[in-house]
């Protein structure tokens, strides 16, 4: 089982959580996604789904690794990703928890366009199945959380109408669907429109 495993070289500086006011929207949307069973925990104990919000030109707040089982999260379940290098497969975060295993993918999208300010990665089997090849779809051979997936995001952004649809299917990541937008609400609306 390859799910839920961090594949980038993570450099984590343990630290205090971000201020509650900085995370209110992120916590609220993540917990809504959990209630809707778009983020959660499989029976085998592997968590799925993650969410992030741009903080600056070169940083974003993201849900921590292995938090999918939590019905409710707090500031202690998020970290600040403040440096990454896709070519070298490295990522640095600071906070009370290590960043999600999908954080390198989030970083690639934030690198691509300043218009991307919020990302929600969910698992939704029906949407994943019917969306493959219909919506922008990553190659099935590309595993999640790797530089290859980051480059695949770039390919889709350059070759598809992904900036307009703001939704993609991760063919090589069972049930994986990713939406993004200028706000978390806008990203969630894209997901709801396709469910």
Task: Work out the pLDDT band at 5, boundaries 50, 70, 90.
Answer: low
On whether residue 1 sits in a domain, the answer given is: no
113 located within any domain:
yes
Structure tokens at 170: 């991760």
- Can you give the residue range of the structural domain that contains 174? 9-194
Residue 2 within a domain: no
Q: Cα torsion at 171, 105, 149, 49 (round to 10°)?
A: -30
Residue 56 sits in a domain whose CATH number is 3.40.225.10
Please report whether residue 178 resides in a domain. yes
At 72 the pLDDT is 97
Number of domains in the chain: 1
**What span, in angstroms and rounded, lies between the C-alpha atoms of 72 and 39?**
11
Q: How would residue 9 be classed by pLDDT, with cut points 50, 70 and 90?
A: confident
pTM for this prediction: 0.95
- Cα–Cα distance, 143 to 150 (Å, whole number): 10
Evaluate whether residue 3 is within a structural domain: no
Please indicate, yes or no, if residue 46 is contained in any of the structural domains.
Answer: yes
């Amino acid at each position: 089982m390859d799910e839920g495993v961090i594949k980038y070289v993570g450099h984590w500086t343990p630290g205090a959580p971000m201020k509650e006011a900085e995370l209110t929207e992120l916590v609220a949307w993540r917990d809504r996604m959990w209630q809707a069973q778009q983020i959660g925990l499989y029976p085998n104990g592997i968590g799925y789904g993650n969410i992030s919000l741009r903080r600056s030109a070169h940083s974003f707040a993201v849900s921590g690794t292995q938090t999918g089982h939590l019905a409710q999260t707090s500031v202690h379940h998020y970290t600040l990703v403040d440096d990454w290098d896709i070519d070298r497969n490295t990522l640095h975060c600071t906070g009370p928890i290590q960043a999600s295993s999908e954080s390198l993918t989030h970083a690639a999208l934030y690198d691509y366009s300043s218009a991307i300010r919020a990302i929600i990665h969910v698992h939704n089997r029906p949407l994943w199945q019917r969306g493959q090849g219909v919506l922008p779809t990553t190659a099935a051979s590309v595993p999640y959380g790797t530089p290859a997936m980051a480059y695949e995001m770039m390919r889709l952004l350059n070759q598809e109408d992904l900036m307009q649809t703001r939704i993609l299917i991760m063919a090589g990541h069972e049930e994986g669907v990713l939406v993004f937008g200028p706000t978390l609400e806008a990203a969630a609306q894209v997901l709801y429109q396709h469910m």
